[in-house]
Amino acid sequence: MTEFSFPSTVGVFLTSAGPGAATRADLAATLGELERLGYLGVWFGEGTGREAFTAAAVMLAATERAVVGPAVATVWGRDPVAAAAAGRTLAEAYPGRFALGMGISHPHSVRRRGHEFGKPLGVISEYLRDLADAPWTGPPVTPPPVLVGAVGPRMLRLAGEEADGAVTFFVDVAHTARARELLGPDAILVVEQAVQVTDSVAAPPASRGYVEMLLGNPSYRRHLGRMGYPAEMAALIPRLDRLVVWGDPAAIRARVQEHLDAGADHVALWALDETGDPFGLETLRALAPELPAITRGAAAR
């Protein structure tokens, strides 16, 4: 298992490689500000915008200390030799700052790429073996940690046994505690958490919109069922605050701390606000003064 440590317990989760609509200059300026505010982790999904590894290179160049990693790059987008080479190239250029997040994606996205989805566990297991065995004739370099996008129990167990850890998404604190048990004490656990700074007591539109978007994906509806939640918005409303946290900065800090105490090593914030800003800067700026009070959880490795 690759030795790896995070420069902070809290980072940001960007919607799609950038986000995808931001220019490179806007992306660099925003990441520079976020790093100054104390968010020293940058995680992003791979959609149909920027390609994951080249996007990571752009983000690493725009920052000085932050860990950068796709969460996650699809295994269908490049073969294991290409992924291993890209990961080692970035690890050599930015030592200790790149994490190689890989995942199975979703059936509709896989079909769009011209592939058959296959059995997820078998696909990932074979991919991880080939990734570890990939040839490398470049300079000596410590490979980046390999993290698997995982929410189900079998995939989490596989991530702890065959990779360096996992990235989880759209989960509650109880899931984080269970994920730590399944991964084992030494694996890396990165947890995405949607947050919104607001004075609204009821779920604000941006928080509701985040959940409604995910409910449109059958994979996330099944995931909610495994966690014991209903997969319809009307029935989910009374428990929505377990999945998205909104309120003042102190309330958000408390939820992040709960994830860390439950076993997360690093919490990536999907920041929401009512301005339509894809980075959620309004929320992240308001929350920044709370970051020094967030400590590494006792249950984390």
Sign of torsion over alpha carbons 51, 57, 60, 66: positive
pLDDT digits (tens, 9 = 90+) for 196-219: 999 999 999 999 999 999 999 888
Half-sphere exposure at residue 96, Cβ-oriented, CA atoms within 13 angstroms: 9
Give the domains, in start order, of the chain with CATH numbers: 10-293 (3.20.20.30)
Report residue 148 CA to chain centroid gap: 10
Side chain identity at residue 38, one-letter code: G
Q: Alpha helix (H) ranges present in 20-79?
A: 24-37, 52-62
Which of the residues in the chain have pLDDT under 70?
16-18, 20, 48, 105-118, 297-301
Classify strands 10-14 and 67-70 as parallel, antiparallel or unpaired.
unpaired
- Tell me phi and psi for residue 103, to 5 degrees: -155, 170
Neighbouring C-beta atoms of residue 237, cutoff 10 Å: 14
Report strand pairing: 100-103 vs 266-271: unpaired
What pLDDT sits at residue 300?
Answer: 46
Half-sphere exposure of 42 (CA within 13 A, CB side): 32
Chain centre distance of CA 272: 15
Question: Are the CB atoms for 172 and 227 separated by under 8 Å?
Answer: yes
Could you report the per-residue pLDDT of 73-122, keeping only the tens digit for each? 999 888 999 999 999 999 999 999 999 999 985 455 555 545 465 678 99
Query: What's the pTM?
Result: 0.94
> DSSP 3-state assignment of 116?
coil
C-alpha distances (whole Å) from 265 to each of 22, 176, 183, 218, 272 are 29, 10, 12, 28, 22
Vertex 102: Cα angle to 32 and 272 (nearest 5): 45
CA distance 35 to 50: 21
